[in-house]
Structure 1
Amino acid sequence: MNTTSNDACKFFDITLNQLVTWREDDQFGGIEGSIEKMLNCDVDFILGHVLKSGIELIGSSANLSPSYSHNITHLTSLADKVSKNLTKRELLHVQAIINLYSGDINKSCDLWESILIEHPNDMLAIKFAHDSYFYLGQHPQMRDSISRVLPYWKNDSHLYGYLHGMHSFGYVQSNFFQEAKLSAFKALEYNPNDAWASHTLCHYNEYKNEFDSGIKFLRETEKDWSVCNLISPHNYWHLALYHLERDEHEISLEIFDEEISKTLNLNRTLDLVDLISLLYRLKLDNCKVDLKERWLKLQEVYMNRIHDHGYTFNDMHILLMLCACENEEGKKEFFDSFDCYLKEPNREDLIRDSCNNIIGTKKFENYLKEVNRKFGVNLFDAISYFEQKEYEKVVDCIKPIRYEIFKIGGSNAQRDLFHLILTQSALLSNNLEYKKFGINLVNERLGLKPNSNLTKRISNRFTNYHS
């Protein structure tokens, strides 16, 4: 690494360790404090800046905005200044961050994978690729990326066990359920506190229709995974979903209030998604408890996100919140800024010769923007139409793209929200063909989860087809 500071290297490792384990260390000020200490030790530490920018950019639309450009300009200027002292691996890491900021996240993943061919023990590249594949909805890639590097690691290497946790999540999201279960338990043998492996088992129990087992597992192991503050609210979200399945709305809301909302004021993206999604699912399930105050509290914290476009998956939750709060002015502001985002020209990259001299520029491919054009427009319109009770238009928006929605990122469980909205819209439609389509969507859901009380409640509320 291009630093002569042992302390900078130490804090780099401390930061990366917290990121991989999903557990912040208060003695160092968490991830933010560790990054600050790292760069105070060496302000020109290239991989330190790469680590900082990767954490800030992956999965967060806020930092994809033009206001973040000074960070990227600083990184590129710094890399140019010391380029002769940088290794090929460091230069590839820098370029991956530049592409990431410009929305060309697929290219970033390609660069991280190039690093891993020569350096399969580079945990920074492993982690950034793993998380980025998640936000791209590229689950086979998430699985295979870990499969490629695992044989090169010794089982007594630091963080080795966490690779199995990552592997297990790639397995479960690509529907290799037995492999996912085995890999998750292997990870937990190495590290009982591996909350990402525990998270895999949340999905396993969800997809296998074993909601009671899911509750039992999470409650019995709560002391292990709950200490991992970066992911524990999300595991509690899964716990709340299990109770929602059992029509136990009060318990779901208790978990919402006591566990998931604890970090609300930190304004973290993953918490945003969990909180909004859970309330909206309760709303769809005809929850009898008044949710208005909870919605307004979320809006108070997350209103500053309505201009942060890039990740469709994040944006859809902001719009769900605005609709639930009946904030018409906010919705207009959201759609106006989204339209401006789509019209913005793609950023430019520098073209260099073999001696690293700048010889021209080229436009970046902005994959995230293309996803927004292909899917975001339809999905955002569908959410608005649903709130306006224009159910046929909801079906028209979602039905043509429903088998490609995975490309907006997130997990299969998280994106199920769109299947719920589509199913209810079809059943509520005045169009007879769409009503029949809605019945078939209920059949789909029962085919995957025969014992789903949630789906049976949908069927009972909207159709007499199923008893």
Structure 2
Amino acid sequence: MDSLIEHTDRAARGAAIRRDPRGLAISAGADSAILAVEQAIESMLSYFGDPLQALDQAIAADPGWVHPHTLKAAVLLTLAEYEPACEARECLDRAEGLARGANERERAHLVAARTVAQGDWERGCELWDAILVRWPLDSAALLFAHLFDFYRGDALNLRRRPQRVLPHWSRGLPLYGYVLGMQAFGLEESGQYGEAEETGRAALEVNRRDPWAVHAVAHVHEMQGRHAEGARWLGTRQADWAVDNGFAYHNWFHAALFQLENMDLAAALDTYDAHLADATDMALQRVDGTAVLWRLQLLGVDVDVRFERLAGYWRTEAPDAGFYAFNDLHALVAGIGAGSSPASAAGRERLLAALAEPSSAGASNQAMSAQVGLPLARAWLDYARGDWPSAAEGLFRVRDRAHAFGGSHAQRDILTQTLLDAAIRAGDRALATHVLNERCPAKASTPLTAYWRERIGALAAAQPGQ
């Protein structure tokens, strides 16, 4: 415990300055609260354990310390849902009453979290980055900015933000490996696949139970069309990422993507049933389940009953709908996948209204909804109506800027595959070929690419002379 406290000249400084394990000054008054916050931060980074529970323990141990309240609010905000955001605002209100006893860095965290809670995600990331300029070992500021970079589709800062702080870190510092894991994902989303894989593997040498680093390397396999190798990668490390881990559902999503790339549809369906069908508590989980089922449906698998069940977990009414456009689009896709029941039809109309007038959102999501979410929703509704040319045109027009509403390249591939299907159904062989060419050379020889090529070839046979 002595390592958490810097003993100073009490006459000159008034009292001992407490520090966290990376040497950052903190205003805590209880050692047990410091340890609980450290446990919470590691849980945030590793997805092992419950960070909210640990932060509640810190609050109980030291009720006057502002930082656990702020961190709890930020964790809730990273869920990107309306109700947790409301709870986060309550945490911030309590924190405001304790801010007088906070140090400068802790007050800066409070301002950043409040800004995000007000709906300005971009400015919140700027404020967390300002913390990192002065305190580059602040792992919480790095993590929160990293997650909201992801939600905003900011691949540049997914790479650069960890890059800017890494020279200040060293292998001997607690949590160092997680910073490498974040760097690996940012490199992958920036297309630097070789460096991303190398960095992800280096992170796992520090801590083999880092699911974010496992995930980053899985992304590299996905983007390079190395589906068989990627499946082995996840399979051989399954004990490290799949047991009692809050991120496991997303790595199972990647396992399903590898199976889909191999056109092993039965295996992908089994993965959904075993690991994604009941992962419905959070929108982040429902997004992955929806995406796997939709891909299966595009490939001709009957998943209507599964879609009906999953669609029932999505909230299609404001203020839940209209909070984050990426989630709203997936809720709409689930409703379309569930068929033409009155409930599904009503849900679609509510979601469209929420995307058009996102009443619960701040400035960031209003822009996402207007520029990306709403146009994509309209294209998907054209698809649901069987208006294939309009669906293909709408998807093609928006797809290249769709990164602006978040998600990864792998997640947004649902747009490309839906565009391919719509173009083929519309009889637009030129557009389908044009889009399929993107999968080459990385995925030129995968069974999924062969499937799309065969469908385009069948279209060509039915349209001689065109």
- Of residues 432, 442, 451 in structure 1, which corresponds to 2:445? 451
- Of residues 411, 415, 432 in structure 2, which corresponds to 1:438? 432
- Is the 2:76–2:88 Cα contact (8 Å) retained in structure 1? no
Structure 2 match to 1:291: 303
Structure 2 match to 1:413: 410
Residue-by-residue CA offset, 1:271-293 (whole Å, 9 max, x unaligned): 21111110110000112xx3233
Distance 1:378 1:340 in 2: 13
The offset of 1:242, in angstroms, is 1.1
Residue-by-residue CA offset, 1:158-186 (whole Å, 9 max, x unaligned): 11111111111101111001100110110
Structure 1 residues 56, 82: CA separation in 2 closer, same or farther (over 3 Å shift)? closer
Structure 1 match to 2:375: 378
Q: Which moved more, 1:410-419 or 1:48-57?
A: 48-57
Distance 1:59 1:464 in 2: 44
Structure 1 match to 2:89: 72
The offset of 1:330, in angstroms, is 4.0
The offset of 1:228, in angstroms, is 5.5
Structure 1 match to 2:241: 225
Structure 2 match to 1:37: 57
The offset of 1:390, in angstroms, is 0.7
- Of residues 114, 119, 138 in structure 2, which corresponds to 1:98? 114
- Is the 1:109–1:132 Cα contact (8 Å) retained in structure 2? yes
- Is the 1:195–1:228 Cα contact (8 Å) retained in structure 2? no
- 1:55 aligns to 2:71 (yes or no): no
Structure 1 match to 2:18: none
- Secondary structure of the 2:321 match is coil
Distance 2:91 2:72 in 1: 13
Structure 1 match to 2:419: 422
- Of residues 197, 200, 215 in structure 1, which corresponds to 2:231? 215
The offset of 1:113, in angstroms, is 0.4
- 1:248 aligns to 2:264 (yes or no): yes
Distance 2:263 2:134 in 1: 51
Structure 2 match to 1:313: 326
Segments of structure 2 that go 5 or more residues without pairing to the other structure are 1-25, 462-466
Structure 2 match to 1:276: 290
The offset of 1:36, in angstroms, is 2.7
Structure 1 residues 113, 14: CA separation in 2 closer, same or farther (over 3 Å shift)? same
Structure 1 residues 453, 372: CA separation in 2 closer, same or farther (over 3 Å shift)? same
The offset of 1:60, in angstroms, is 1.7
Q: Which moved more, 1:381-390 or 1:332-341?
A: 332-341
Output the amino acid matched with 1:309: G
- Is the 2:372–2:405 Cα contact (8 Å) retained in structure 1? yes
Residue-by-residue CA offset, 1:252-305 (whole Å, 9 max, x unaligned): 1111122233543xx122221111110110000112xx3233222212333477
Structure 2 match to 1:361: none
Distance 1:438 1:261 in 2: 31
- Of residues 454, 457, 462 in structure 2, which corresponds to 1:463? 457
* Equivalent residue runs for 1:177-216 within 5 Å: 177-216=193-232
- Of residues 25, 31, 37 in structure 2, which corresponds to 1:12? 37
Distance 2:460 2:208 in 1: 43
Distance 1:254 1:59 in 2: 27
Structure 1 residues 52, 380: CA separation in 2 closer, same or farther (over 3 Å shift)? same
* Equivalent residue runs for 1:344-383 within 5 Å: 366-383=363-380
Structure 2 match to 1:354: none
Distance 1:302 1:263 in 2: 12
Distance 1:74 1:159 in 2: 26
Output the amino acid matched with 1:3: A
Structure 1 residues 217, 336: CA separation in 2 closer, same or farther (over 3 Å shift)? closer
Residue-by-residue CA offset, 1:383-409 (whole Å, 9 max, x unaligned): 111111111111232222221111110
Output the amino acid matched with 1:419: T
Aligned length: 434
Runs of 4+ residues over 6 Å off in structure 1: 344-347
Please provide the CA RMSD for this pair.
2.4
- Is the 2:332–2:351 Cα contact (8 Å) retained in structure 1? no
The offset of 1:129, in angstroms, is 0.7
Distance 1:38 1:304 in 2: 36
Output the amino acid matched with 1:423: L
Distance 2:259 2:101 in 1: 56
- Is the 1:169–1:200 Cα contact (8 Å) retained in structure 2? yes
Output the amino acid matched with 1:286: G
Structure 2 match to 1:358: none
Distance 1:446 1:466 in 2: 20
Distance 1:279 1:445 in 2: 21
Structure 1 match to 2:398: 401
The offset of 1:344, in angstroms, is 6.3
Output the amino acid matched with 1:446: C
Structure 1 residues 152, 135: CA separation in 2 closer, same or farther (over 3 Å shift)? same
- Is the 1:194–1:225 Cα contact (8 Å) retained in structure 2? yes
- Is the 1:382–1:393 Cα contact (8 Å) retained in structure 2? yes
Structure 1 match to 2:22: none
Distance 2:94 2:206 in 1: 42
Q: Which moved more, 1:114-123 or 1:324-333?
A: 324-333
The offset of 1:201, in angstroms, is 1.4
The offset of 1:20, in angstroms, is 0.5
Residue-by-residue CA offset, 1:174-212 (whole Å, 9 max, x unaligned): 100110011011011111111111111111111111111
Structure 1 residues 76, 176: CA separation in 2 closer, same or farther (over 3 Å shift)? same
Larger RCO of the pair (alpha carbons < 8 Å, separation 6+): 1
Scaled by the length of structure 2, the TM-score of the pair is 0.87
Identity percentage of aligned residues: 24
Segments of structure 1 that go 5 or more residues without pairing to the other structure are 25-29, 348-364
Structure 2 match to 1:351: none
The offset of 1:227, in angstroms, is 2.8
- Secondary structure of the 1:120 match is coil
Structure 1 residues 304, 16: CA separation in 2 closer, same or farther (over 3 Å shift)? farther
Output the amino acid matched with 1:293: V
